[in-house]
Amino acid sequence: MQPLTSVKVADPNVAMLQTGIIASQATMSEYVRQLGGTIITSVEEPVDYRLSGIGIRHKSTGLIDDLLKKVPDVPSLPEASLSTLSSSELDELEGSLDNGNSWMLAYRARDRGHGKYLLETSDQLAKIVHLGRVYTEKTGKRLYDNFMVRPYVKTPSNYFTSYRVLVNSAGYIQGAGLLYSGHAKNSDRKIVHACKDFGDSRLAFMVRRFEDPESPYFLDARDVRSNILCGGSMIALMGENRQPLRDGEAAILEAHNIDPSRTQIPRDIAQIASSIGRLIGPELDLVLGLDFIQNTQDERSLLEVNCGPTAAAYNVCHLAGMATMSNAMAASQWAAINHLEACYRGRSYDMDCDTILV
């Protein structure tokens, strides 16, 4: 563990403004100073520990992908950028769709479920490819940079699910939850005018077509997103003050081979999340939000790494799911700072819960 004097925290304003905890900014900065931390204002500056909240940029630059190469044995899905697929690879993808396989098209420069489409037919792929050509003819630019194609994973239960793990930059797991979609699989919900474009011209160009039933490029894509912002809910997988199970949640856990009476985070996820936090967290953020997905063969893969994650998992694990998101966010970041401090001072760290240090 680094001596505490080398713990630097990038300008908390960035994260605080993002999460709306403006009132606690001054207190947070002061606390970091008392701990011997340094407030830095540039996100470019090399640091030992970072509080950045600039995850979106990291995702689009591919920095996270590069950093992940440092972590051994990450179970991940094969993924390729749509814009780099050769015509024979596109033909292969088309053949795979015609053979009944499904793929996920994921715009990775945006999170919270924006720009994530399930592809089930070669007709959908043809629309996507055609729109890409139209865009390039019009603008001279490529439409699909940052659009990833990955195999679609069928999840257990009658809901679309994924895991969210909050891990700090010392590898300490602060919260973990199983997300499940607000709609059941058999409800056949489609992505119609669902995603925002955030003033991103490429995304706007696509969203207006892919999600508009009036457009010839309408994808009619099934909504398979489990994100909370898309209507999903989270089941706590750890914590003494966790949110109690609600109707139907025990069955979802059982389908994932998790015993609802002794709910816990799958061991393989805990281990890999801890390694990721320890090995790349310090270069990214105090707390990372890792998404994993489980298939029907009980295998789990990493979907993505998020900087500046929401504290929904912290809330359901430690605050009974009752805190406002900004309070949960503040609590989660303070817990991360306190834990780093405890590591430095060699004292045990009691977060009043069964937080895991793998």
Ligand X SMILES: Nc1ncnc2c1ncn2[C@@H]1O[C@H](COP(=O)(O)OP(=O)(O)O)[C@@H](O)[C@H]1O
Measured distance between the N- and C-terminal CA atoms of the chain, rounded to whole angstroms:
15
Q: What DSSP element (H or E) covers 304?
A: strand 300-307
To the nearest whole angstrom, how small is the minimum distance from the Cβ of residue 177 to Mg ion? 12
- Closer CB to Mg ion, residue 127 or residue 225? 225
Alpha-carbon distance of 205 to 143, in angstroms, equals 9
Pairing of strands 147-151, 103-107: antiparallel
Is the CB of residue 218 less than 8 Å from the CB of residue 126? no
Residue 17 C-beta-side C-alpha neighbours within 13 Å: 6
Q: Provide, rounded to whole angstroms, the least separation between the CB of residue 240 and ligand X.
A: 26
Residues 135/177, Cβ–Cβ less than 8 Å = no
Of the pair 37, 232, the CB lying nearest ligand X is at 232
Least distance in angstroms from the C-beta of 112 to Mg ion: 7
Name which position in 106, 176, 328, 337 contacts ligand X (CB under 6 A): 106
Comparing CB distances to ligand X, the nearer of 7 and 153 is 153
Q: Which is nearer to Mg ion, 116 or 209 (CB)?
A: 116
Q: How many CA atoms does the CB half-sphere of 39 hold within 13 Å? A: 15
Q: Select the span of 8-16, 103-111, 139-147, 236-244 touching ligand X (CB under 6 A).
A: 103-111
CB closer to Mg ion out of 200 and 291: 291
Of the ranges 171-179, 235-243, 284-292, 329-337, which one interacts with Mg ion (CB under 5 A)? Answer: 284-292
- Whose tokens are 């990450």? That residue is 74
Q: Of 200, 223, 285, 291, which one interacts with Mg ion (CB under 5 A)? A: 291
CB 35 within 8 A of CB 7: yes
The reply to whether 263 sits near ligand X by the rule CB under 6 A is no
Handedness of CA 147, 191, 135, 126 (dihedral sign): positive
- Stretch in the footprint of ligand X (CB under 6 A) among 15-23, 27-35, 208-216, 222-230: 222-230
Nearer to ligand X, 127 or 225 (CB): 225
From the list ligand X, Mg ion, none, partner contacted by residue 353 (C-beta under 5 to 8 A by kind): none
Question: Which H or E element spans position 306?
Answer: strand 300-307
Residue 285 in the binding site for Mg ion (CB under 5 A): no
Site for Mg ion in 104-143 (CB under 5 A): none
| Contact present, 215 and 208 (Cβ < 8 Å) | yes
Give the number of other Cβ atoms within 10 Å of residue 304's Cβ: 22
Nearest to residue 318, comparing CAs of 243, 267, 227? 243
User: With respect to Mg ion, which residue has the nearer C-beta, 249 or 291?
Assistant: 291
Q: Does 233 bind ligand X (CB under 6 A)?
A: no
Binding of ligand X by 285 (CB under 6 A): no
Give the residue, chosen from 32, 153, 173, 270, that forms a contact with ligand X under the rule CB under 6 A: 153
Handedness of CA 85, 90, 91, 97 (dihedral sign): positive
Binding mask 131-150 for ligand X (x = CB under 6 A): -------------------x
Query: Which one of 152, 205, 217, 314 is in contact with ligand X (CB under 6 A)?
Result: 152
Phi, psi values for residue 21, rounded to 5°? -100, 50
State residue 186 phi and psi, 5-degree precision. -75, 0
Min dist. Cβ of residue 341 to ligand X (A): 31
- Tokens in use for 226? 């489990």
Site for ligand X, rule CB under 6 A: 77, 104, 106, 111-114, 116, 150, 152-153, 160, 162, 224-227, 291, 293, 303-304
